[in-house]
A and B are shown apart, each in its own frame.
Chain A
Amino acid sequence: MSGAVGGFLRRVGAMMRKEFLQLLRDRVSFATMISIPLLQLVLFGYAINTTPRHLPTAVLAYEDTSLTRSILAAIENTKYFAVVSHPRSAAEADHQMLAGEVSFIVEIPAGFERAVRRGESPSMLVAADATDPVASGSAVAALQALVETAVKRERFAVEGGPEGSGLESAPPAFQIITHARYNPAAVTQLNIVPGLLGTILTMTMLIFTALSVTREIERGTMETLLAMPIRPVEVMLGKIAPYVLVGAGQALLIVGAGLYLFDVPMIGSPGLLTLLTVLFILANLSIGYTFSTLAQNQLQAVQMTFMYFLPNILLSGFMFPFAGMPLWAQWLAETMPLTHYLRMVRGIMLKGAASVDLAQDIMALGAIMLVAMFIAVRRFRQTLD
C-alpha cells in the first residue's frame, strides 16, 4: 500500500525537518559539533606526541672505556634519550625510576669492552619504564639500531680492519636486552588519527541523540508529540537522520586533517570507509537514542552517555592494545561499536583492507545497531503512563 509508505516517509520527513531546524537554531550545540573535532585533533595531533624525545635516562656504567663512551654517545644521538644521571648503584637507579625521575636505566656491566673484543657478545641491559608504553615504545625500538652504529665505529678502532666481508654474518658485537618494566605492552603510532575519528564520532553522536527524547519530555513538547499520529519508529528515524549528516561532516573534517596535517595514509578505499562510517554513526545514534528513552531527564542522559563512553575508549583498543586485555574484557569490547570501527578504520586507512577482510566487524556493527534500535523503539512509550 503506497499510501502507508508515503505517510511513513512524510512523517519521518516532518520530524527530520523539525530536528534540523532546532539543530540550526541551537548555535551553541552547533558550534560544539564543529569545534570538538577541531579541538581534539589539534590537541591529540600536535600536543600529544607518541614518539617523545629526550626521555630522562640513568646510566649505570661499571666501566668507563672508549666503547662505553661511544655507546652512550650513540644513545644520546638517537635524540630519544637524554642522560640525566649517573647513579652509583642498581638500587639508586631503581629508586630514580620508581620516583619517575628517569624513564630508562642503561646498565653496562664490568669488563664489557674486553668481552666485546674477545667476541663474547656480552649483554647490555636497558630497563624501560613502560607504565606509559606509548612513550617508551619507540625509544626502545631505536635502541636496536644502536648496536650497529656503535660497533661500526668501534670495530675500526679495535681491529683496525676495513669494514668488510663476513661482518654481517658474524654475531653482533654485543646485545642489548631491553626490559619493559611494569607494562610489557606497546602501541603503534598512526593509531591516533583513525582512533580519534572513532572516539569523536562516538562522543558527539551519543550525546546529541541521548538528549533528544529527554529534552522533549523536559520541555513538555512530548505530550503534544505523543498526541499526534506519529509512530515511535518514525520519531526515532526523524530524530536520528539529521545527525547522520553532522557525523559525516565531522568524519570528513577529521580524515581530511589526518591526511593533510598528519600524513596519515589512505591505502584502502575511501568509498568503503565512508559507507562504514555511516554505519558506525547510525549505530552510535541508535545507542544514544536508547539512552534517551531510558533516562528520566537530560542530566541522566548525559551521565549514561559518559558511563558508556569511558569503557568504549578504554577497552576498544584506542588507548590500550586490544590483544593485551583478558578474554572477558575482549568479549565486552566486542559489544561496543568503537572496537569494530577502529579495526575498520585502521584496516582501511593503514592496511588497505577490503570489505571481505572486515566482514565480521561489519556484521557485528550492524547487529549492534539493530539491537539498539529495537530496544529504543520498544522503550519509547507511546503513552504517558
Chain B
Amino acid sequence: MSAAADTLPDTPYAIEVEGLSKSFGDRVVVRDLTMRVKKGQIYGFLGPNGSGKTTTIRMLCGLLTPDSGRGTCLGMNILTEARAIRRHVGYMTQRFSLYADLSVRENLEFVARVYGVPDPVGAARAAVERLGLAGRDKQLAGSLSGGWKQRLALGACILPSPDLLLLDEPTAGVDPKARREFWAQIHELAADGLTVLVSTHYMDEAERCHEIAYIAYGELLAQGTVKEVVAGAGLFTWSVAGGDPAPLARELAALPGIDMVAPFGASVHVGGHDAAALEAAIAPFRARPGLVWRRDEPTLEDVFIDLMNRSKDNFR
C-alpha cells in the first residue's frame, strides 16, 4: 500500500463504539456495549470466562458483525470499513494461530508480505532479532514453547506497524517472567504511540493498564482508571485476621449488610455497600477475642468479585 493511504482520520479515540450487541442463536453474548479508548493508551479488558471479551474484540476488528450498534476503530466505521481497519490493526488471538508447520521466519515473512511491508525478508529478519529468536528462526513455530509462541505472535502482530493492537488474553498460560517481559514491551509500544487493548484475567495485569473496563455476562459494568473503578464501586471493606478463616467466612457471608466475603490467606476480606450496615454486621465479631479487625481499602479484585455477584443477581 502506498504511504498516502496510511493517513488515518484524526480522532482523539482509537476505539469509540456505542450500543454494540451480538447474540449467537438466542444467547446474548454482548449487550449494548459502549466504550471509548483514548489513543496511546493501554486499555485493560477484564471479565470472567464467557463474558463477551473475545466477541467484543472480534467485532472491533471486523471478524464478527454486530447485530446492532455502531462505532469506529481508528476513526473508521467498523461496519463498513472492516478491510481498511484490518490494515492498521494487529490482532493477537487467544489461541496461537500462526502456522505451526512454518518456521518462525517463514511465518513472519508471510505476514510481512500480506501486509505489504517493504522488504519482507529484511523486515522478518529484523523482527527475529528484536524478538530474541535469532538462533531459532528456522525452527517450526509449532515446536516453540508457550512463552516463545506468545512472543512470536506479538512479533507478528506488530511487524506491519499497526496503530492499534487487540490482544486477546495474550498471557494466558505464560510464566511470570515472560509475562513481565511481555508487559514491559507493551508499555514500550504504548510509549511509541500505539494504542493497546488487552483482555486478561489477571488483576496484577489490570493494574498495569492506563484504563480498564470490566465486562460480565455481556455487559460493561465499570470503566475508567483503576482508582476510578475502585472508587466508583462504593465498596467499604474490612479485613479480619486471627481466626480460622474458612468457618469465619461462612459465618460472615450469611449476615445482612455484608455483600462480599473472600478468604485471603490467613485473613478474611469483608465488604459491603452500606458502611453503617457493614459495621453493624461485624460489630458482634469485633468483640470476639483473638480476632484483629482492620478497616482497609478495597482491592480491584474485591470490586470485580462484587461486580460479578451483583451482575449475576441482575441478569441471571
**Among candidates B98, B100, B106, residue contacting A21 with C-beta atoms closer than 8 Å:** B106
Cross-chain contact B58 with A3 (CB below 8 angstroms): no
A194 CB, min distance to chain B CBs, angstroms:
36
Q: Does B194 reach chain A (CB closer than 8 Å)?
A: no
Cross-chain contact A384 with B63 (CB below 8 angstroms): yes
Cross-chain contact A220 with B110 (CB below 8 angstroms): no
Cross-chain contact A383 with B113 (CB below 8 angstroms): no
Given contacts A17-B113, A22-B102, A229-B114, A383 and B63 within 8 Å (CB-CB) = yes
Q: Does A18 reach chain B (CB closer than 8 Å)?
A: yes
Which chain B residues lie closer than 8 Å to A25 at the CB level?
101-102, 140
Which chain A residues lie closer than 8 Å to B140 at the CB level?
25
Cα-based distance from A3 to B63 in the complex (angstroms): 26
Which chain A residues lie closer than 8 Å to B2 at the CB level?
3
Query: Which residue of A is nearest B85, CB measured?
Result: A229
Cross-chain contact A384 with B64 (CB below 8 angstroms): yes
Give the residues from 94 to 140 in chain B that come closer than 8 angstroms, CB to CB, to chain A. Answer: 95-102, 106, 109-111, 113-116, 120, 140
**Among candidates B89, B100, B120, residue contacting A227 with C-beta atoms closer than 8 Å:** B89
B15 CB, min distance to chain A CBs, angstroms:
15
Given contacts A7-B116, A15-B114, A227-B89, A220 and B96 within 8 Å (CB-CB) = yes
**Among candidates B97, B99, B113, residue contacting A14 with C-beta atoms closer than 8 Å:** B113
Query: Which residue of A is nearest B92, CB measured?
Result: A224
Which chain A residues lie closer than 8 Å to B98 at the CB level?
221, 224
Q: Does A230 reach chain B (CB closer than 8 Å)?
A: yes
Cα-based distance from A230 to B111 in the complex (angstroms): 11
Given contacts A7-B116, A17-B110, A227-B91, A221 and B97 within 8 Å (CB-CB) = yes
Cross-chain contact A383 with B110 (CB below 8 angstroms): no
Q: Does B161 reach chain A (CB closer than 8 Å)?
A: no
Which chain B residues lie closer than 8 Å to A383 at the CB level?
62-65
**Chain A 211-244 near chain B by CB (<8 Å), digits 1 or 0:** 0000000011111101111110000000000000
A11 CB, min distance to chain B CBs, angstroms:
6
Cα-based distance from A60 to B115 in the complex (angstroms): 81
Cα-based distance from A13 to B120 in the complex (angstroms): 12
Q: Does B87 reach chain A (CB closer than 8 Å)?
A: yes
Cα-based distance from A10 to B112 in the complex (angstroms): 10
Cross-chain contact B99 with A227 (CB below 8 angstroms): no
Cross-chain contact B93 with A220 (CB below 8 angstroms): yes
**Among candidates A7, A14, A226, A385, residue contacting B1 with C-beta atoms closer than 8 Å:** A7
Q: Does B76 reach chain A (CB closer than 8 Å)?
A: no
Give the residues from 4 to 31 in chain A that come closer than 8 angstroms, CB to CB, to chain B. Answer: 7, 10-11, 13-15, 17-18, 21-22, 25-26
Q: Does B70 reach chain A (CB closer than 8 Å)?
A: no
Which chain A residues lie closer than 8 Å to B93 at the CB level?
220, 223-224, 227
Q: Does B38 reach chain A (CB closer than 8 Å)?
A: no
Cα-based distance from A7 to B2 in the complex (angstroms): 10
**Among candidates B97, B102, B113, B115, residue contacting A13 with C-beta atoms closer than 8 Å:** B113
Cα-based distance from A382 to B82 in the complex (angstroms): 10
B273 CB, min distance to chain A CBs, angstroms:
39
Cα-based distance from A224 to B94 in the complex (angstroms): 10
Which chain A residues lie closer than 8 Å to B101 at the CB level?
22, 25-26
Cα-based distance from A7 to B113 in the complex (angstroms): 10
Cross-chain contact A11 with B64 (CB below 8 angstroms): no
Q: Does B187 reach chain A (CB closer than 8 Å)?
A: no
Which chain B residues lie closer than 8 Å to A224 at the CB level?
91, 93, 97-98
Cross-chain contact A18 with B110 (CB below 8 angstroms): yes
Give the residues from 17 to 54 in chain B that come closer than 8 angstroms, CB to CB, to chain A. Answer: none
**Among candidates A18, A223, A227, residue contacting B102 with C-beta atoms closer than 8 Å:** A18
Cα-based distance from A26 to B2 in the complex (angstroms): 36
Cα-based distance from A229 to B1 in the complex (angstroms): 11
Query: Which residue of B is nearest A235, CB measured?
Result: B114
**Among candidates A3, A14, A222, A385, residue contacting B110 with C-beta atoms closer than 8 Å:** A14
Cross-chain contact A227 with B61 (CB below 8 angstroms): yes
Query: Which residue of B is nearest A22, CB measured?
Result: B101
**Among candidates A14, A26, A222, residue contacting B114 with C-beta atoms closer than 8 Å:** A14
Q: Does B86 reach chain A (CB closer than 8 Å)?
A: yes
Q: Does B286 reach chain A (CB closer than 8 Å)?
A: no
Cross-chain contact A21 with B102 (CB below 8 angstroms): yes
Chain B interface (Cβ < 8 Å from any Cβ of A): 1-2, 58, 61-65, 82-83, 86-87, 89, 91, 93, 95-102, 106, 109-111, 113-116, 120, 140
- Besides A10-B113, A384-B58, 8 more A-B contacts (Cβ < 8 Å) are A18-B106, A220-B96, A221-B97, A224-B93, A224-B97, A227-B63, A227-B89, A383-B65
Chain A interface (Cβ < 8 Å from any Cβ of B): 3, 7, 10-11, 13-15, 17-18, 21-22, 25-26, 219-224, 226-231, 382-385
A and B contact pairs by CB, cutoff 8 A, 17 listed = A7-B116, A10-B116, A14-B110, A18-B99, A25-B102, A25-B140, A219-B97, A220-B93, A221-B99, A223-B63, A223-B95, A227-B86, A227-B91, A227-B93, A228-B114, A382-B82, A383-B65
Nearest 8 A-B pairs (CB), nearest first? A14-B113, A227-B91, A224-B97, A229-B87, A229-B86, A220-B97, A18-B110, A14-B114
